[in-house]
Structure 1
Amino acid sequence: MTTRSLDVAKNFDSPYEPYELPYLTKEQSLDLLLKKAFPYQDPTEGYPNNLSDLAKEFVEKCGGLPIALVVLGGLLSKQPPNEHAWREVMQKMNWRADASKVLLTSYEDLPFALKSCFMYFALFPEDHQIRARALIRMWVAEGFIPQINNGGTLEDTAENFLEDLVQRSMVQVKRRRPNNSILYCYIHDLLHDIAIRKADEHNFLTVSDDLRSCSRARRVALHGKELMEDANPNLRSLLCFNGIPNISRHRQLKVLSAVEGLKGFLDRSDRYEVLAPFRYLELQDCLDFNDFIGSKSLCFLQTLELHLTMSNLPESVWHIKTLRHVLLSEFSYSFGPPPSIHMRNLQTLAGMKPRLSWKYQRLPELPSLRELHMEVQDEFPWEVVVAFVGTLKKLETLTIRGVKREQENEIRENFKHVYFQGLDKWSSYGEFY
């Protein structure tokens, strides 16, 4: 029995564990392609040498996906075995549409909420390696994830959604964490095409080279150095992979991700202030983050991720009651929440240093914190760190940079899920969150 759903395979009455088919290697792909292209002969004997390079090009385009290779091989089997005929197939590439028809059934079988999550993949460039947790937080910010009364968070439900897409073979896992959660994921080119097509049909999002033609788009991905000159009253999400344009006038933005630099962030002569009701804000190389501070744009913020160098995070950020994730650059740690502050929704806090004022005043209250990644300098009172960690009853993952061996052992006695990394081997930003 074969199925695209791992759940179906697991529930099948069999004494054996399901075998999850991986993508084919280039050698396996070439072998399958030639068997389908030359079904009545041994391709290793009757295979024309002048088609060798073309066959390898076809294999590259199929990306190891068996259904694509089978459909393409069947198409080639109807053609004369010569370079001209095969090049015509290469130019027309009708086989992609045939393969897509098969894969489209997987999309149609998705529940309504999962369809939105799948179409969201169209915002990312083809073959892009996506950070799973960033994707999950975007889904939550967009409101795709329903509240389920099972004691878990929206992020837990979103993670289950992502695993569901993986089990259906619609999303591929690039790498997992030690706890088996997904670190990086991606989708095959053919499925990426389907995501773009369905998103276009439903006016769900737009991937554009010129935002002047996207004045009514709700979600936009910029993969180049495009312009955004006119205000878009409908724009909800903007993902930028090569700098972003002026966003002062786009007042409905909920998700803004500028992962490759921030250019022309605000027009200083613009009479508008930033009023967009951000839920998810990810910025890199931004010199104008302070333009947000004190603005109404942060009142509903859920995720703040800053890949930039700054001395300290402004105090007003810690008073945003909706904050769920604060992820700061590892290049310049900022002081954590001030004493006595209560942040009941905060689940992730990364890139922080403890405050000395915690020793003399009340510790901050973070009852929902699950992940903590911080730096402790040599002269800082260690008993304050121990006391602070002791208040985090839901803590699952702890990373402390700069601890000594005896300090590490003291923490390990009380927490089972602890990860320590030395100053000389501090892992990259995305490894943890």
Structure 2
Amino acid sequence: MDDICDIGHWKLIRCALPDTNAGYIIITTTRTMTVAEHIGGAYNLKPLSLQNSRILLYGRIFGNEGMDKCPEEGLIEVSNKILKKCAGVPLAIITIAGLLASKRRNKMDWYEVHNSIGTGLENNQDVMNMRKILSLSYYDLPAHLRTCLLYMSVFPEDYEVKQDDLIWLWIGEGFIQSGKQGKSLFEVGESYLNELINRSMIQPVYKYIVKDIFDCRVHDMVLELISSLSAEENFVTISNGVRHNSPSKKDRRLSLQSDKADHATLSVTMSMPQGVRSVVGFDSVVDLLAPSLHAFRGLRVLCLKGSHIPKCSPIKCLGNLVQLRCLFITGSMAQLPEEIGNLKYLQILHVAGSSIMRIPSTVVQLKDLICLKFNSGVTLSKRFGSLTSLVELSYCWVEDHPTRNIEELSNLTELRVLSFCSYTVTWDDSLNKSLVECLCKLQKIQILDISIGNGESNLDGWVAPSHLRRLRISSAGSPRCQLGCPNRRFLLTFPC
């Protein structure tokens, strides 16, 4: 059992375990000695040996597993000195490796890193020295990456957020201002995330069959660092029942992480909504937002994750939040109001994973929309083809008027991601032909997911763009697909 924070948590867990004479062993981890002693005694983990420290460092920098010798002779001496300061602590080694990997393979640059570590960990095991190493990696980041990393403090400890969701939230917050060299905002966001992963500041969590789809989290010590920095810089006001930044009129972002949060303190924060630009709420804290969300006139980002949202919820006032750029909702909710069409600046509407099964017809008024994600089975109204700025559309349900909907799709020429569903319509040659004609117009498509439940899909005649990365076709019949895709390898799956 990993990372038991306090004795109270252990007592709750202990109630579910058999008696101690049952002949079993429980292994727990904790960062608190008093917790370890209460549970039954501490075993202090030994630091990595110098050889294993080298294997970890060089493997992260040079990419060769099992290598305990530096492949560049000029860096042997300085790398040994750096490892001495890391004192066999894996997190310190991984963090420094991520920093060194971003530097030139130059002795002077590496010595600069070595000298910046200070006393390090070789003489003192205090957590503050580990924080010095993490801080060094943090302040070495470019300003735009520091901002993106600080944003991870809005999520609770051990929280895993989908990579795409994180990038869209960055875009909604305005951290990614413009595409570079013809890249979309999302592609620039992907490069930011990859850089933070390469520097070991964000950890990818692989739990899906497709390996380029993953969740993101940060190590607990990294979270402690960025939460502290967020408080110092007034970047995020965090309320989680354990800590709460002092509310002020300068609050820009609120992270409401637990319904155990101090209601009195939250009331003070919620009574000063003028400067708040972003609200992220988890679990049942949505109830705390209900009385005052309508007053957040300057709100740009509203993210309600895993929450039960009652019918009398503040969502009814969405049409009044005219500055809103990004709306994320997962959890139980009746429906979106028709007034959502008033949000003329809205760029991201993400309700996939919620109970919302209807998208108001007024959504076609949102001309700045670049991301529209909802559940399979939700029918879009006619004229959704007017949303020509869309980069991602998931899912497109074409049951009612398949031919018309495919024609509407063909207008969305900026699409990078498309998930396309049809389960009751009998898919025939005419519809296959219309779909191929549509796909031929979507020249920027990179990820395409087609699910057909009745009939046979046939994409013969479609020449896939060279930048296509992933194609998934699911069909009740045998999918037929003979693609031309020059100079590009991509994942192609045909589920049964």
1:263 paired to 2:309: yes
Maintained 8 Å contact 1:172/1:188: yes
1:184-263 → structure 2 map (5 Å cutoff) = 184-209=215-240, 214-216=247-249, 217-225=251-259, 226=261, 229=267, 230-243=271-284, 244=286, 245-246=289-290, 247-263=293-309
Show the counterpart of 1:25. none
Show the counterpart of 1:318. 364
TM-score by length of 1: 0.70
Show the counterpart of 1:301. 346
Maintained 8 Å contact 1:412/1:418: no
CA gap of 1:157–1:123, structure 2 versus 1, over 3 A, is: same
CA gap of 1:239–1:4, structure 2 versus 1, over 3 A, is: farther
Maintained 8 Å contact 1:5/1:169: no
CA gap of 1:411–1:281, structure 2 versus 1, over 3 A, is: farther
- C-alpha distance in 2, partners of 1:148/1:311? 33
Give the partner amino acid of 2:422: V
- C-alpha distance in 1, partners of 2:317/2:150? 36
1:174 paired to 2:205: yes
Maintained 8 Å contact 1:259/1:282: yes
1:275 paired to 2:329: no
Maintained 8 Å contact 1:4/1:167: no
1:327-368 deviations in Å (ceiling 9; x for gaps): 1023xx222462483323201111221265463695341010
Match of 1:96 among 127, 130, 137: 127
- 1:205, distance to aligned residue in structure 2 (A): 0.6
1:159-181 deviations in Å (ceiling 9; x for gaps): 11111111111111112877764
Give the partner amino acid of 2:389: N
Give the partner amino acid of 2:277: R
Show the counterpart of 2:378. 334
SS class of match (1:363): helix
Show the counterpart of 2:393. 349
Maintained 8 Å contact 2:436/2:462: no
- C-alpha distance in 1, partners of 2:92/2:390? 44
- C-alpha distance in 2, partners of 1:75/1:158? 38
Show the counterpart of 2:444. 394
Give the partner amino acid of 1:399: D
- C-alpha distance in 1, partners of 2:209/2:182? 24
Stretches of structure 1 lacking an aligned partner (at least 5 in a row): 10-16, 22-35, 40-58, 77-94, 424-433
CA gap of 1:5–1:391, structure 2 versus 1, over 3 A, is: farther
Alignment identity in percent? 23
Maintained 8 Å contact 1:328/1:350: yes
- C-alpha distance in 2, partners of 1:302/1:277? 11
CA gap of 1:329–1:299, structure 2 versus 1, over 3 A, is: same
Show the counterpart of 1:419. 472
1:355-394 → structure 2 map (5 Å cutoff) = 357=401, 359=403, 363-364=408-409, 365-377=411-423, 378-379=425-426, 382-383=431-432, 384-394=434-444
- C-alpha distance in 2, partners of 1:4/1:339? 55
Give the partner amino acid of 2:327: L
Q: How many residues align?
A: 355
Match of 2:143 among 95, 108, 112: 112
Give the partner amino acid of 1:251: R
1:120-154 deviations in Å (ceiling 9; x for gaps): 01111111112111111111111111324400011
Show the counterpart of 1:80. none
SS class of match (1:299): coil
User: Which stretch shifts more, 168-177 or 156-165?
Assistant: 168-177
Maintained 8 Å contact 2:156/2:257: yes
CA gap of 1:272–1:220, structure 2 versus 1, over 3 A, is: closer
